[in-house]
Structure 1
Amino acid sequence: MFLGTFTPKLDEKGRLIFPAKFRDELASGLVMTRGQEHCIAVYPLMEFRQKLEEARRAPTTDRRTRDYLRVLLSGAEDVIPDKQGRITIPGHLRTYAGLDRECAVIGALDRLEIWALPAWEAYLEQKEEGFAETSEEVIPGLF
């Protein structure tokens, strides 16, 4: 499970060091791909494989399924972090997420998300008030 917000910096080669608390879970491999709202979604390899098995059950005759899988998988990169917990984020994903030096890595339950820090701060500012004002169930049966 991934929780929290961290603000590592990209180095000049596009490398990012994951927070120590996540390294063990990602050490055997991960998949990075396009996430919603122009972030990078990072899944442990086994979690991503499970998502793909679920996706195989979706009808490929449905255009929405094809479109979603094309965008998701065409941007996917499988990576094994080095011994320092460092990964290189490919140029196409850095461009997609608008990453520069300042980043936010946020825990999102089954995945991490990598955001350009200004984009994350703007997103959070926009969504926090709605979060505070929520008075009905957001996720039916849970919250």
Structure 2
Amino acid sequence: MDEQTTAQSMPDPAQNPAMAGMPPLLLGTYTPKIDAKGRLALPAKLRGQLGPGMVMARGQERCVYLLPQSEFRRIAMQIQRTSMGNKAARDYLRVFLSGAVDQEPDKQGRILVPQMLRDYANLGTDVVVIGVGTRAEIWNSKAWEEYLAAQEQGYSDIADDVLPVVEF
């Protein structure tokens, strides 16, 4: 399954003045490895869209979010606006921010996935990196396969609820 071709055909806002100011559109599925030191070689296309500085954080369904700094800040500020009076938002913000780390790829395009995040998402050597619009997610390869298999039937079933006005 080579979805890199699909991901590479999408316009890059950084290279298109008409799309300036728009967040990146991260797409595709990639299967890099995590080395013995916990480093992950980011696919070049995702690395370019995420920018020089990015943030890793605990994601839902036991994955690791990888966000451009601007998107991370937007999400954190949105949660903080409601957090003081909302216990669920305070709890979420604590877990989300306490597990977040700034990352900058090295000269080979690798990022270090901290042990705490590797433990959280059960990341070993085999991982899957997927583009999910304004973020990428890093998944344990087996967990991703199980998640995708479990969602495939529902994907068709919920299309009308999730995409009521989008026509294909």
TM-score, normalised to structure 1's length? 0.93
**AA aligned opposite 1:129:** Q
Q: CA RMSD in A?
A: 1.5
Number of residue pairs the alignment of both structures matches: 143
Q: Aligned to 1:67, which of 77, 91, 107? A: 91
**AA aligned opposite 2:161:** E
Q: Aligned to 1:93, which of 89, 105, 117? A: 117
**AA aligned opposite 1:111:** R
Query: What residue in structure 1 maps to residue 130 of structure 2?
Result: 106
Alpha-carbon contact 1:103-1:115 (below 8 Å) kept: yes
Higher helix share: 2
Deviation by residue 1:57-92 (Cα, 9 ceiling, x = unmatched): 214121101110011001000111112221010000
Change in CA separation of 1:70 and 1:142 when aligned onto 2, cut-off 3 Å:
farther
Distance 1:32 1:135 in 2: 30
TM-score, normalised to structure 2's length? 0.80
Q: Which has the higher contact order (CA 8 A, sep 6+)?
A: 1
- SS class of match (1:58): helix
Sequence identity percentage: 48
Does the alignment pair 1:32 with 2:56?
yes
**AA aligned opposite 2:116:** H
Alpha-carbon contact 2:65-2:137 (below 8 Å) kept: yes
**AA aligned opposite 2:70:** M
Query: Tell me, which stretches of 5 or more residues in structure 1 are unaligned?
Result: none
Alpha-carbon contact 2:40-2:112 (below 8 Å) kept: yes
Change in CA separation of 1:78 and 1:140 when aligned onto 2, cut-off 3 Å:
farther
Deviation of 1:135 after TM superposition, in Å, equals 5.2
Query: What residue in structure 2 maps to residue 81 of structure 1?
Result: 105
